[in-house]
Amino acid sequence: MDARKHGSMSSTVLGSQAAVAPAARRSVPLPRVWSITGRDIVAILVTNGVFIGAMWVRHGGLEQVATPGGAWIAIGQVTGLLGTYLALLQLVLMSRMPWLDQAFGMDRLAAAHRWIGFATVWLIAAHGFFIVSGYATSEGASLVGETWTILTTFDFVALATFGFGLFVVVGVTSMRAARRVVNYETWFALHLLAYLAIAFGFLHQLLVGADFLHDPLARIYWTSLYALTFGLLLAYRVIGPIRLNLRHRFRVARVVAEGEGVVSIYITGRDLDRLPLRSGQYFVWRFLDGPRWWSGHPFSISSAPNGAWIRTTVKALGDDTRRYQRLAVGTRVLLEGPYGVLTGIRRTRRRVTLIAGGIGVTPLRALVEALPGRPGDVTLLYRARQPKHVIFRNELDVLAERRGIKVHYLVGRRGSVDLPDDPLDAFGLTGLVPDIADHDVYLCGPNEMMDRLTETLGNLGVPGSRIHVERFAY
């Protein structure tokens, strides 16, 4: 329910935007809305899984279960096939395909990717264990002896075992305890090992896998699955971003301090009025300002698209975000995206409440400007610990006045003299927005605040389908 063209929403120059404001705002196309739903996608994935199982039965998988050794081998084959399927699915979930993003949102995709990743490691471990046990039982050999025989006799088994080791490294470094000590970049670099592991797995499957050896249909099917997966990654993670950046050639136009450790970065480029973009979305940004240019970070756009410049607002939380506070005008920028579904397409009700915590105000600031509505339809609750942490105050006040948006600044530490009661508990929320049960609610802030709010909103009668969330950390 975004207005069809953002650019026509307002021609007003707001607050700090004045510095690089266009003479007149231009229309911006909106990204395509895909008709495929999350349910359709799950159905496609399940059908694929069933088909893989059916192919295994077709080439005699079930006939093996007549003997104890054969039964172990059958379990080993099924866990191997499922583990491989999930490993490919892992990559597809992170391919940044627009219809996956639209159906689920990147944070839910990342959560699914995480759990499917752990399942993949266990299934592949089970595959190795059951296959070795099956052959050991059939041949009356010891587990250790059989492991050695299989490792040294069959092509690519040793390499696939090494690949499994890489999967374990990826899995262990993704556990919560490890994530707390391993920095994001190291964790991400280790994650790339999964591609190598999958390549080794493919060679193993090609040369010794029961599916490949005995069933031409399965061979074609599996090869197509691998090709499709890598094709999607190539299209959306490599070719798409290259085309976007060659076309628009983004550069930093201005860096404006918004508050303590927070800057707005304005970028310009060619044909920005042809870049489909929606308020509430984000890009992955790479600033070509030195040796760490390769490190990309997601940042939301913090004002409605206007066809002349794009703005994001960044809080200094780590090494890179501290560096971005001092970016030079003219610095080249590589963008990937836009991504994200904290946008008007999720809206189902006329009335909307936006709840921001800290720097989570950035996408909501853009939505405040862009969401269509009559005066009183849109309410912003903006939570900050201290007055100095409130950014965009002038802009929000101008928008509140001009568009009839209700803005409540909820500033102070919970339990302090300024804020003795929690303004975002059930009592506080219904005091601020009495009919909130009938609203769409957009949330962006610290995870802990959003988890608490999701529960409170549920208790107040707002169904999950009307709570729209963007997580800045996952």
Ligand X SMILES: Cc1cc2nc3c(=O)[nH]c(=O)nc-3n(C[C@H](O)[C@H](O)[C@H](O)COP(=O)(O)OP(=O)(O)OC[C@H]3O[C@@H](n4cnc5c(N)ncnc54)[C@H](O)[C@@H]3O)c2cc1C
Residue 317 near ligand X by CB under 6 A? yes
Instruction: Pick between residue 298 and residue 373 the one whose CB is nearest to ligand X.
Output: 298
Residue nearest to ligand X according to CB distances in the complex: 318
Instruction: Pick between residue 210 and residue 367 the one whose CB is nearest to ligand X.
Output: 367
Pairing between β-strand 262-268 and β-strand 352-357 as defined by DSSP bridges: unpaired
The footprint of ligand X on residues 282-301 (CB under 6 A) is 282, 296-300
The footprint of ligand X on residues 370-389 (CB under 6 A) is none
From the list 23-31, 140-148, 211-219, 308-316, the region that binds ligand X by CB under 6 A is 308-316
- Cβ within 8 Å of residue 16, ≥6 positions away: 256, 258, 264, 394, 395
* Residue from 318, 375, 387, 458 binding ligand X (CB under 6 A): 318
Instruction: Pick between residue 190 and residue 206 the one whose CB is nearest to ligand X.
Output: 190
Instruction: Pick between residue 79 and residue 362 the one whose CB is nearest to ligand X.
Output: 362
Instruction: Pick between residue 84 and residue 300 the one whose CB is nearest to ligand X.
Output: 300
Smallest distance, ligand X to C-beta of residue 188, A = 7
Are residues 383 and 354 in contact, defined by beta-carbon separation less than 8 angstroms?
no
Smallest distance, ligand X to C-beta of residue 471, A = 6
Other C-beta atoms closer than 10 Å to the C-beta of 399 total 23
Residue 178 near ligand X by CB under 6 A? no
- How many chain residues interact with ligand X (CB under 6 A)? 22
Smallest distance, ligand X to C-beta of residue 113, A = 13
* Residue from 77, 102, 137, 312 binding ligand X (CB under 6 A): 312
Smallest distance, ligand X to C-beta of residue 462, A = 22
Instruction: Pick between residue 320 and residue 440 the one whose CB is nearest to ligand X.
Output: 320
From the list 82-90, 189-197, 310-318, 364-372, the region that binds ligand X by CB under 6 A is 310-318
Other C-beta atoms closer than 10 Å to the C-beta of 188 total 13
Residue 405 near ligand X by CB under 6 A? no
Amino acid at 156: F
Instruction: Pick between residue 297 and residue 403 the one whose CB is nearest to ligand X.
Output: 297
Instruction: Pick between residue 28 and residue 444 the one whose CB is nearest to ligand X.
Output: 444
Instruction: Pick between residue 229 and residue 300 the one whose CB is nearest to ligand X.
Output: 300
Smallest distance, ligand X to C-beta of residue 286, A = 10
Instruction: Pick between residue 417 and residue 473 the one whose CB is nearest to ligand X.
Output: 473
Please give the backbone phi and psi of residue 378, each rounded to the nearest 5 degrees, phi first. -115, 130
* Residue from 52, 170, 333, 359 binding ligand X (CB under 6 A): 359
- Cβ within 8 Å of residue 417, ≥6 positions away: none
Cα separation values, 181 from 171, 186, 319, Å: 15, 10, 16
Residue with tokens 């006939």, as numbered in its chain:
63
Per-residue binding string, ligand X, 320-349, x by CB under 6 A, is: xx----------------------------
Residue with tokens 């301090």, as numbered in its chain:
257
Rounded Cα distance between 434 and 79, Å, is 52
Instruction: Pick between residue 184 and residue 409 the one whose CB is nearest to ligand X.
Output: 184
Residue 472 near ligand X by CB under 6 A? yes
Is 111 exposed, middle or buried (CB count within 10 Å of its CB: 0-12, 13-18, 19+)? middle
Smallest distance, ligand X to C-beta of residue 111, A = 12
Edge-to-edge strand ranges of the sheet holding 310-315: 297-300, 282-287, 332-339, 250-259, 262-268, 310-315
Residue 177 near ligand X by CB under 6 A? no
* Residue from 75, 253, 265, 314 binding ligand X (CB under 6 A): 314
* Residue from 315, 346, 365, 403 binding ligand X (CB under 6 A): 315
Smallest distance, ligand X to C-beta of residue 244, A = 17
Contacts with ligand X, residue ranges (CB under 6 A): 183-184, 282, 296-300, 312-315, 317-321, 359, 362, 470, 472-473
